[in-house]
Amino acid sequence: MFSHSLKIKISLIASTAVLLTSIILTLFSTQKLSNAMENSMYQRIGSISNTVSASIESWIASKHQILSSLAEQPMDEVVFVKQLTMAISAGNFSSIYAGLEDGTRIGSNGFTHFVNNYDPRKRPWYKAVKSSETLELIGPYQDVNTQEMTFTIARPVYNAGKILGVMGVDLKIKDLFSDVTSVKTGENSHIFLLNDKGEVIAHKQKGLIQKQISQLYDSFTQDKYQAALSENAYITLNSQHGKKIVHFQAIKDSSWVLGVEADQASELAEYWDIFYALIFISIVITLAAVVLVNWIVSILFRDLFSLQKALNDIANGDGDLTRRINIKSRDEVGLVAKDFNRFTDNVHNIIQHLGKVSQGVSSQADALSHSVIENRQHIQHQMLNTQEAANAVDSLNDSTQLISDNVENTSQQISSTLVLSEQGIVQMKSSQQSIKQLADKLSDANNVVTELNTQAQSIAGIVSTIDDIAEQTNLLALNAAIEAARAGEAGRGFAVVADEVRSLSSRTSDSTTEIQSMIGNVQQSSVKAAELMKDSANLATGSVNEADQAQKMIDGIMLAVQEIENMTQKISLATHDQFRVRDDINTRTINIRDLAGKLSEEAISTESQVDELNRLSSNLQRETSKFIV
């Protein structure tokens, strides 16, 4: 917004600084003032609470004293009645009375006994004092006759250390409250009394009497009231008439609580008046500072404006470089003017030098133009030679490509041959492994057959042993039969058994003969099987050896094929190297051709630039001639 005016910028910065200082001081002052006024308000409310509480306590104490002086007098009827009459006037009591243990009621009108069935011993004030045997403050309560808030002070009457009865006085709350409200509490502020239940018993607004304190303020519960009373705190509460500062204080020797209510807006009205006055003063100081800063800056910038005018004359052309600024001060503006004069001296010298240089540049440009034309002709000749070399490289490319294709086909065929050879070797190795496994299995089978033959021989020995046992058994059975025949009739049963044993041994002998025949056949078969297996193992071993020879031959073939493949790869590598060399030659040839083309274009461009240089040199001579040097 003010990008073209340094004067306005400085004025704005200085004014802003003054404004910020004023704002900070105003906020600091108002904060201190707010704290001071708040503390003063709390002190004043506390002072009012203490003064009024002391006044109420003194008032109640004076009533206690009058009542105690009467209670300590002898109970003479005539004198006591006169004293009661005098006490009503002295203490400003609504009524004064006493009740005795026999039911007698004593008043200012004399002694009465059960008038209208009135028994003082049944009254609350009598019972309370009789129970505590001390002075009691009862109420306040609404009097049945006057309908006014009244409270009772009662104490026991003693004679020779024994309670004769209870004496009491009735007082109106309004009498006490009229004295209390005479204390100045401030604008829109007032005092009220509460009983031990938190009910209002005295207030300027009679409609609030006997209402709970929680009904006077928003969201103010009985618990909050008890907390504020116990902490002796100053609390801010919302009411129908705005925010109020409230303080509660218990009154000694009673169950009453004094409440002091101050209107927050009224208490802080003076603070807001001072706050607005400070803001007004800050604005006035800021405006005065703006005017003063503008006046000072105008004086300080007077030489700077002269410097600006001189620079403007030079910038608009036809500048007189021999002109200098008259320095009138030694401050920063004077230093700038001094530096401007020195700058003008330098520019003066530069313009003179530029005039000479522009003439030399013009001469050099003419010479350079002739050289550029000759170089362009040489470059065009070089481009023709480079094109012919590129055509020769293209022919070499075709021959090299044909060789590369043949080598590539050969390499592919060799690779296929190697793959098939490797597959054959793998298959031969697999067959060789199978034959070896077959030979191992035949060897194992031969061992099993041999073991079978051995087991058959063992069985034959066992069978021979059984046959011997059968022959022996047959002989024993024969001997037994002979002995049985000799015994005659007595050995007949034994002879039968001997015949059966001999029959069994004969059958056993026949069976062993058959087993031996079978074992012999098995032994012959196992011998033949072992011989056949041995021959098969020998054949398998021969097949393995032949497979090994065939593998060695294939390995030789593969080595030869691999050698051929290696040679083919070398040829392919050489061909690729030739391709790379060819590509490099081709690239370099193209680069040379492109470079020659660029040089030709640059020569043309240089020729144009030389013409432009001549034009600029002429313009430079024309511009420098505008200055007076």
* Residue 626, number of CB atoms within 10 A of its CB: 10
Evaluate whether 193 touches 254 at the Cβ level (below 8 Å): no
Spatial strand order in the sheet of 234-239:
200-202, 190-194, 257-263, 242-250, 234-239
170: helix, coil or strand? strand
Distance CA 201, CA 173 (A): 8
Tokens of 447: 């061992």
Domains of the chain: 350-620 (1.10.287.950)
DSSP H/E element including 188: none
* Residue 140, number of CB atoms within 10 A of its CB: 23
Distances (CA, A) of 111 to 23, 91, 106, 115, 155: 80, 21, 5, 10, 19
pLDDT for the residue 363: 72
Distance CA 623, CA 319 (A): 11
Distance CA 477, CA 347 (A): 163
pLDDT for the residue 1: 45
What is the Cα 16 distance to its own chain's centre?
40
pTM summary value: 0.41
User: 192, 223, 187: which is closest to 207 by C-alpha?
Assistant: 192
Evaluate whether 193 touches 173 at the Cβ level (below 8 Å): yes
Residues 6+ apart with CB under 8 A from 483: 491, 494
Please identify which residue in the block is written with the tokens 């493949």.
565
Please identify which residue in the block is written with the tokens 């593998």.
551
Distance CA 116, CA 95 (A): 18
Beta bridge partners of 99: 105, 166
* Residue 139, number of CB atoms within 10 A of its CB: 20
Sign of CA dihedral 476, 478, 479, 480: positive
What residue type is assigned to position 313 of the chain?
Answer: D
303: helix, coil or strand? helix
Evaluate whether 422 touches 558 at the Cβ level (below 8 Å): yes
Evaluate whether 417 touches 561 at the Cβ level (below 8 Å): yes
Tokens of 300: 């300080």
Total residue length of the chain: 629
Tokens of 342: 């020195």
Distance in angstroms between the alpha carbons of the first and the last residue of the chain: 39
Evaluate whether 108 touches 96 at the Cβ level (below 8 Å): yes
| Backbone angles phi and psi of 439, in degrees to 5 | -65, -40
Q: In this structure, what is the dihedral angle of CA atoms 461, 464, 465, 471, given to the nearest 10 degrees?
A: 180
| Rounded mean pLDDT for each run of 10 residues along the chain, 629 residues in total | 64 80 82 78 82 81 79 64 75 81 74 64 86 81 77 83 84 74 69 82 77 81 82 82 84 82 76 81 83 78 68 62 65 70 74 69 69 70 70 67 68 70 70 71 72 74 77 77 75 73 76 77 73 72 72 73 73 71 73 71 70 70 62
Residue 507 is classified by DSSP as: H
Evaluate whether 163 touches 130 at the Cβ level (below 8 Å): yes
pLDDT for the residue 256: 82
Tokens of 555: 């390995």
Distance CA 150, CA 200 (A): 13
What residue type is assigned to position 408 of the chain?
Answer: E
Distance CA 208, CA 619 (A): 102
User: 449, 461, 499: which is closest to 479 by C-alpha?
Assistant: 499
Distances (CA, A) of 379 to 495, 594, 606: 148, 11, 14
User: 278, 275, 276, 281: which is closest to 37 by C-alpha?
Assistant: 275
Residue 142 Ramachandran class (φ > 0 left, ψ -120 to 50 alpha, else beta): beta
Evaluate whether 450 touches 523 at the Cβ level (below 8 Å): no
User: 80, 57, 58: which is closest to 255 by C-alpha?
Assistant: 57
Evaluate whether 193 touches 261 at the Cβ level (below 8 Å): no
Evaluate whether 133 touches 164 at the Cβ level (below 8 Å): no
Helix axes 492-624, 332-487, angle to 10 degrees: 170
